[in-house]
A and B are shown apart, each in its own frame.
Chain A
Amino acid sequence: MTIALGISDLGKRFGGLVAIDGLSLAIDDGESVGLIGPNGAGKTTIIGLIMGELRPDSGRIDLFGKDISPLGVAERIRCGISRTWQIPRPFANLSVIENIRIGSMPDSLRGMIFDRSDPIRERELAMSVGLAKNDLERKASDLAMGDLRKLEMARTLAAGARILLLDEVFAGLTVGEIDHIAAVIQNLRSRGITFLIVSHDLPALAPLIDRAVAIDRGRVIAEGPLDDILDHPDVRDSYLGR
Chain B
Amino acid sequence: MDIGRHHLALWAIAAAGLFVLPSLVGSGILRTLILANYLAIFAISWDVLSGRTGYISFGQPFLIGIGAYTTAILTKRFDVPMEISIPAAVLVTMVGGLIVLLPALRLRGSYFALVTLALMELCYQLVQVIRPDITGGTRGMSGLPTLTRGASNGYYLSTGLMLTIALTAWMLMRTRLGLALSAIGMDEGAVQGAGLSPTRLKSFAFLASAFIAGLGGAFYTHYLGSIAPRALFDITFLFTILAAALIGGSGTVIGPILGAFFLTFLLEWLRPLLPGAERYFVYGLVALLLYMYQPAGILAIIERVRVRLFGDSRSG
A and B are interacting partners: yes
User: In the complex, which of the residues A82, A85, A91 contacts B183, with contact meaning CB atoms closer than 8 Å?
Assistant: A91
The contact size tier of chain A is: 20 to 34
**11 cross-chain CB contacts under 8 A:** A74-B197, A77-B194, A83-B193, A89-B190, A90-B190, A91-B183, A102-B191, A113-B172, A114-B175, A117-B176, A159-B195
> From residue 169 to 221 of chain B, which have CB atoms closer than 8 A to chain A?
172, 175-177, 179-180, 182-183, 186-187, 189-197, 200-201, 204
A106 to chain B minimum Cβ distance, whole angstroms, is: 9
Residue A107, interface by CB 8 Å: yes
Quick one: which of A78, A92, A101, A115 has the most chain B CB within 10 A?
A: A101
Given contacts A107-B196, A159-B195, contact A102 B177 (CB under 8 A): no
Interface size on B, residues (CB 8 A): 22
Interface residues of B (CB under 8 A from A): 172, 175-177, 179-180, 182-183, 186-187, 189-197, 200-201, 204
Residue A174, interface by CB 8 Å: no
User: In the complex, which of the residues B172, B175, B196 contacts A74, with contact meaning CB atoms closer than 8 Å?
Assistant: B196
Residue A1, interface by CB 8 Å: no
User: In the complex, which of the residues B177, B195, B201 contacts A103, with contact meaning CB atoms closer than 8 Å?
Assistant: B195
Report the separation of the CA atoms of residues A117 and B175 in the bound assembly, to the nearest whole angstrom: 9
Interfacial chain A residues near B177, Cβ < 8 Å: 109, 112-113
Interfacial chain A residues near B172, Cβ < 8 Å: 113
Contact B186 A105 (CB under 8 A): no
| Binary CB contact string for chain A from 159 to 186 against chain B (1 if under 8 A, 0 otherwise) | 1100000000000000000000000000
Interfacial chain A residues near B190, Cβ < 8 Å: 85, 89-91
Contact B187 A112 (CB under 8 A): no
Given contacts A109-B204, A113-B177, contact A91 B186 (CB under 8 A): yes
A120 to chain B minimum Cβ distance, whole angstroms, is: 16
Given contacts A112-B176, A113-B172, A113-B177, contact A51 B183 (CB under 8 A): no
Contact B192 A74 (CB under 8 A): yes
Interfacial chain A residues near B200, Cβ < 8 Å: 107, 109
In chain A, what residue has the closest Cβ to B200? Answer: A109
| Given A109-B177, A112-B175, A117-B176: 4 more A-B contacts, CB < 8 Å | A98-B179, A109-B201, A113-B177, A155-B194
In chain A, what residue has the closest Cβ to B176? Answer: A112
Residue A93, interface by CB 8 Å: yes
Residue A72, interface by CB 8 Å: yes
Given contacts A105-B176, A113-B177, contact A159 B186 (CB under 8 A): no
In chain B, what residue has the closest Cβ to A76? Answer: B195
B41 to chain A minimum Cβ distance, whole angstroms, is: 22
> From residue 42 to 67 of chain A, which have CB atoms closer than 8 A to chain B?
51, 53
A162 to chain B minimum Cβ distance, whole angstroms, is: 13
Report the separation of the CA atoms of residues A214 and B187 in the bound assembly, to the nearest whole angstrom: 31
A139 to chain B minimum Cβ distance, whole angstroms, is: 11
Report the separation of the CA atoms of residues A85 and B200 in the bound assembly, to the nearest whole angstrom: 23
Contact B182 A82 (CB under 8 A): no
User: In the complex, which of the residues A78, A85, A89, A114 contacts B195, with contact meaning CB atoms closer than 8 Å?
Assistant: A78
